[in-house]
Chain A
Amino acid sequence: MTEIFGVPLQALLGQLLLGLVNGSFYAMLSLGLAVIFGLLGVVNFAHGALYMLGAYAAWFSMDRWGLSYWWALLLGPLALGVLGALVERTLLKRLYGLDPLYGLLLTFGLALIVQGVFQQFYGSSGQSYSAPEALSGATDLGFMMLPNYRGWVVAVSLTVCVGTWFLIERTRLGALLRAGTENPTLVQAFGVNVPLMVTLTYAAGAALAGLAGVLAAPVTQVTPLMGSNLIIIVFAVVVIGGMGSIVGSIVTGLALGLVEGLTRVFYPEASSIVVFVIMALVLMVRPAGLFGKEK
C-alpha cells in the first residue's frame, strides 16, 4: 500500500474527507459572521448562541411537535432569522454610531444569557437528535465508509456558500447592500430603505447560523455549550480569511478543516491549536488576513 510519511494513503484520504466535512461547518458559520461584519461592522459574538439555538430548534420541533428533519431545516433558519431581526431592531440598531466594541459586548452578553437560560432548562449533558432515515446509513467509497449524512452536510454547505457569495457579489441586491454600508445617506437618497436592508442582512446572518445548527444537530450532541466551543475557532477562520471577506471566509473555512484533519493524523494533540498557530502566522505576514483589503 502506498504510504505518505508512514500513513497509508487510504487513511490519509479518509482524514482529508473528514476535514472537508468539518471545514464545511466552519465555512457556513464564518460566512454568516463575515456577512454581518462586512455589511454591518458588527462583531457578532452571539453567532455561536444562534447556532446552538438552531440545533435546539431542530430538537424541539421533533420532540414537541413531531416535525421531521426536513421541516426543521426550513423552520429553524426561519425562526432564527425572525429572532435576528428582532435583536437588530431592538438592540443592535442603537449601537451603529458607536465604537464596534459596544456591538461586541452586547452580542457577547446576549450569548451568555441565552446559554445560561438553556443550561437552566435543559441541563448540560444535552439532547440526542437522530439523522433522518433517508440520510442514515453509509456509502463505501473504497478508502472509507462515509456516513451519508456527512456527505449531505458538505453538499448543503457548499450550495449555501456559493449562493450567498453570488447574491452579495454578483446581483443588484448585493450591490445595493454593499453600497448601503459604504454610504448609507447617499443610497437612501436614491429611495432605498437602508435600515430595512440592514435588518434583513442581520436576519440572514442569523438564519445561516441557525441552518448550520440544524445541520449539526444529528452530528453532535445538542447542548447549550455547543456554540461557545465552536465560535472561537470560527472567529479565527474569519480573521485568517480577512474580516468581512465572503470568499475569504468560505475558502479559509474549508482549508482549515483540511489542515485540522491532517493534524489529527500526524500530531493529534495539536489539532485544537493548529488553527490559532496559522492565525498568528497569517497576522504576522498579512495583518488584514488572506483575502482582506488593507485600509
Chain B
Amino acid sequence: MKIRPVSTTLASFALAGAAALGLAAPAQAQISGDVVRVGIITDMSGVYADIDGQGGVEAIKMAIADAGGSVAGKKIELLYADHQNKADVAAAKAREWFDTNGLDLLVAGTNSGATLAMAKVAAEKHKLFISVGGGTSALTNEQCQPTTIHWAYDTTALAKGTGSAVTAAGGKTWYFLQADYAFGAALEGDTARVVEASGGKVLGVVKHPLSASDFSSFLLQAQASKAQILGLANAGGDTINAIKAANEFGITKSMKLAGLLMFINDVHSLGLKATQGMYLTDSWYWNKTPETRARGRRYFDVMKKMPSSLQAADYSAVANYLAAVKAAGSDDTDKVLAKLKAGKVNDMFMKDGWLRADGSMIHDMYLMQVKTPETSKEPWDYYNVVQVIKGEAAWTTKAESKCAAWK
C-alpha cells in the first residue's frame, strides 16, 4: 500500500490532535489505559522451551510480584503467548496485543527470526521492545530500531567471548562444525574472524543439516583436521548430540570442544561427564555471587531447576522497565526509554550495564569452563568463570556497526 486515502490521513491528524489535547489536560494520569501491560512471546513448546519458555514467564511474574504488582499507582498486567518458533505467528500476536490489548512493553523470548519480526511491529507501533533470547546481532546492527533493546547477549558477544579467550589461552587451531543455516553461518563467520584476529587459524568447516540424525561422520572429518579446538556453531539438540557423539568416538581426547551457543540446560541434560572441560560464553550464571545464588534458589523453589541466563535476563529486563516507568511516572515509550538510557543498570543480572545508542545493553560477559564431576559440589554447580569480558569489549564496535542510529 503506497497511497493512503485522504480520509484516514485526516482522521489520524484529528486523532493525534485529540491525543495531544488529552495529554495536555491532566498532568498526573500518564499511564495509558490505567494499566501497565507487559507481554512475553516466546517458544513455550518447542526446542527452545527449556531455556526460556514457561520459566521465562515465571521469572517475569516474580519481577512483577517484587514490584508489588503495581507501578506509579497502577496495576501491572502480564500477557504471554507461544510463537511455536514461527515468525508470522509471533508478529501477528504482537500486533494484536499492541492494537487491541494496549500492550506497553513486549519482551521477546527465544528465536531470532521471530524476534526480528516482532521488533519491526513494535517499531511501527512505537512501543518498547526488549529482546532477551534471540541471538542475532542484526537486531542492533543492520536492522536496529529506536524502540529495540537487546538485553542479554548476541552472536557477536558469544563469538568475541569464546573465540578470543580460547585462542588467547592457547587454542590456536580451530575446526568448525556448523549448522547449515543463517544462524550457524553468522556464528561461524563471527567466531572465525575473531579467532584469526587473535592470532589463531581456522583449518576448516563442515556444514551439517539442521537437526542432523547423526554427527559421527562430521566429527571424524573434524578430527582428521588435527585442529586443537572444535567450535560448535550450532544450537540446542544439534549441539547436544554432537557433544554426545564426540565423547563416544573419543574426539574429546584429542580436541577441546567450544560451544558457541550453549545454555546451562544443555549442560544439565548432557551431564558433566560428557561436557567437562568445555568452554562457553554466557551472560549470567546462577552460582557466581551471593546475589545470583539467592535469585537462583528462589527460582528453583518454583521451577525445580536453576534459571538459565535468559530466564534471569527476563527478570532483570522487566524489573528495570518497571523501575523506569516509576521514575518517569509514565509508560510513554520515549519517556521510559529516556530513563533507561539515563542511568546504569545494577542488579543481579548485570553490574554497571548501560544502554547504547544502537539498542545494545552493554554489560560484562563471562567465559566459563564446565567443571569435572569431581569438582562440582551440588546439582547445577557446573561452571568455573575463567574470564570476565568487560564492558564494551564483548560487543560490536562502532566501526563494525551498520546501525544508522549510532553513526
Nearest CB on B from A237, distance (A): 12
**Per-residue contact bits, chain B 301-336, to A (CB 8 Å; 1 contact, 0 not):** 000000000000000000000000000000000000
A230 CB, min distance to chain B CBs, angstroms: 6
Beta-carbon contacts under 8 Å, A86-143 to B: 116, 119, 123-128, 130-131, 138
> Which parts of A1-56 form the interface with B (CB within 8 Å)?
8, 11, 14-15, 18-19, 21-22
When the two chains form their complex, are residues A271 and B212 in contact, meaning their CB atoms are under 8 A apart?
yes
Q: From known contacts A145-B249, A221-B244, A230-B213, infer whether A268 and B237 are also in contact, taking CB-CB under 8 Å.
A: no
Which segment of B25-33, B42-50, B386-394 sits at the interface?
A: B42-50
Report B203-216 CB contacts with A as 1/0, cut-off 8 Å.
Answer: 00011111111101
Interface positions, chain B 44-62, Cβ under 8 Å from A, are: 45-51
Nearest-neighbor residue (CB-CB) of B205 within chain A: A268
Tell me the smallest distance from the CB of B292 to a CB of chain A, in Å: 22
Interface size range on A against B: 35 or more
In whole Å, how far is B348's beta carbon from the nearest beta carbon of chain A?
24
Q: Are A128 and B271 in contact (CB under 8 A)?
A: yes
Q: Which of B209, B266, B273 neighbours the largest number of chain A CB atoms within 10 Å of its CB?
A: B209
- The closest CB in chain A to the CB of B49 belongs to A124
Let me know if A123 and B271 touch, CB within 8 A. Answer: no
Contact A128 B269 (CB under 8 A): yes
B94 sits at the interface (CB 8 A): no
**Contacts A15-B220, A22-B213, A223-B237 hold; do A119 and B45 have CB atoms under 8 A apart?**
yes
- Beta-carbon contact of A18 and B211 below 8 Å: no
Q: Is the CB of A147 within 8 A of B249?
A: yes
Among B207, B211, B217, B268, the residue within 8 A (CB) of A229 is: B211
Asked if A241 is at the interface of the complex by the 8 Å CB criterion, the answer is no
Contact of B265 among A22, A125, A147, A150 (CB under 8 A): A125
| Contact residue among A147, A221, A264, A269 (Cβ-Cβ distance under 8 Å from B269) | A221
Residue of B nearest to A267 (CB): B207
Does residue A171 face the partner (Cβ distance < 8 Å to B)? Answer: no
- B269 with A15: CB separation less than 8 A: no
Q: Do A269 and B237 touch (CB < 8 A)? A: no
Nearest CB on B from A39, distance (A): 27
Q: Which residue of B lies closest to A221 (CB)?
A: B240
Counting CB contacts under 8 A, is A219 at the interface? yes
CB-nearest residue of chain A to B236: A125
A228-241 interface mask toward B, CB cutoff 8 Å, 1 = contact, 0 = none? 01100100000000
A149 at the B interface (CB under 8 A): yes
Q: Is the CB of B218 within 8 A of A268?
A: yes
Least CB distance, B144 to chain A, in whole angstroms: 31
Interface residues of B in 272-288 (CB under 8 A from A): 273-274
Assembled-state Cα–Cα distance A50/B32 (Å): 52
Query: Is A144's beta carbon under 8 Å from chain B?
Result: yes
* A264 touches which of B218, B237, B245, B273 (Cβ 8 Å): B218
Query: Which of A14, A123, A128, A230 touches B274 (beta carbons < 8 Å)?
Result: A128
12 pairs from A and B in contact (CB 8 Å cutoff): A14-B217, A18-B216, A116-B45, A123-B50, A128-B274, A130-B273, A138-B250, A145-B250, A229-B211, A271-B209, A272-B210, A273-B209
Listed in ascending order, the chain B residues whose CB lies under 8 Å from chain A are 45-51, 180, 206-214, 216-218, 220-221, 224, 236-237, 240-241, 244-245, 248-250, 265-266, 268-271, 273-274
Sample of 8 more A-B contacts, CB < 8 Å, known A229-B213, A271-B212: A119-B45, A123-B49, A124-B50, A125-B269, A126-B240, A126-B269, A131-B248, A268-B180
